[in-house]
Amino acid sequence: MRVATSGSFPRVAAGSIARALREAAREGGEVGVALAGGSTPRPVYRRLARLEAPWGRLRVFFGDERCVPPDDPRSNYRMVRETLLTDAPLDPDRLHRMEGERDDRDAAAREYGALLPASLGLLVLGIGSDGHTASLFPGSPALDEEERRVVPVEGPAESPPRLTVTPPVIRAASRTVVLARGAEKAEAVARAVEGEAPVAECPARLARGGEWIVDDAAATRLSPRRRGPREP
Ligand code: 6PG
């Protein structure tokens, strides 16, 4: 658990991700990393793009994607293209987007699942105020999926359907970094990190063993022992 100020959150989070990538690279071979979507990662990926990382050995994937075209403002791929890809020395051929726009979402999910490495060197996740992570929402049947690695799911109201990695992919990741910023995440962070709620009610609990990067506002419901020192 690393607690940052709101202002230092992008720097602290980007530093943790870069460190995890360098550590994964020391194990040799290519490094598979799956990125979180949403809005929290935007400033983090912008800073990450300028840090030292094994860019030439990365295979970049997504933890989930909205079922919209890649240039849609809601697309996680578009968000990563506008932030990480603008400055990172990453060959675009090393970035594998989920083809959420395809009519046959099941086929798109199956094909993407086959692309993923058996174990990601790093999985970057976010958390919703309802405790979801990737696009694994509370009560979703996808939480019981133990065979497939990527499945299509319905999104919450007002949101398009999604493709998402499943619990086996989260469990198999060698390293996980979870990003949480803002007071609206505080309850979900506390439930996921130290609460008793089952995964079915708080899917982000699947990432309990990861490195959590939270800002002050998202840390307010954590017990003092969990919160640890704040990073300036
Ligand atoms: C997505 C994400 C999702 C996200 C959380 C938090 O596609 O929306 O993968 O899991 O991490 O919903 O979203 P914010 O960062 O926008 O709060």
Tens of pLDDT, residues 100-143: 999 999 999 999 999 999 999 999 999 999 999 999 999 999 99
Cα 50 off chain centre by: 19
Share the mean pLDDT of the chain.
97
Element (H, E) at 187: helix 186-194
pLDDT < 70 stretches in the chain:
none
Ligand 1 center–CA 80 separation, angstroms: 13
Tell whether ligand 1 has an atom less than 6 A from the beta carbon of residue 164. no
- What pLDDT, on a 0 to 100 scale, did the predictor assign at position 230? 82
Residue nearest atom 15 of ligand 1, based on CA coordinates:
40
Ligand 1 center–CA 42 separation, angstroms: 11
Tell whether ligand 1 has an atom less than 6 A from the beta carbon of residue 40. yes
CA atoms within 13 A on the CB side of 194: 14
Tell whether ligand 1 has an atom less than 6 A from the beta carbon of residue 39. yes
Which is it for the CA torsion 73, 94, 163, 119, positive or negative? negative
Residue nearest atom 11 of ligand 1, based on CA coordinates:
126
Per the structure block, which two tokens stand in for 103? 């009519």
CA distances from 63 to 8, 76, 103, 109, 225 (A): 25, 10, 20, 12, 30
pTM (2 d.p.): 0.98
CA distances from 14 to 10, 50, 52, 60 (A): 6, 9, 10, 15
Q: Which of 2, 59, 70 is nearest to 34 (CA)?
A: 59
Q: Which of 127, 123, 213, 117 is nearest to 175 (CA)?
A: 123
Ligand 1 center–CA 76 separation, angstroms: 9
Element (H, E) at 179: strand 176-180
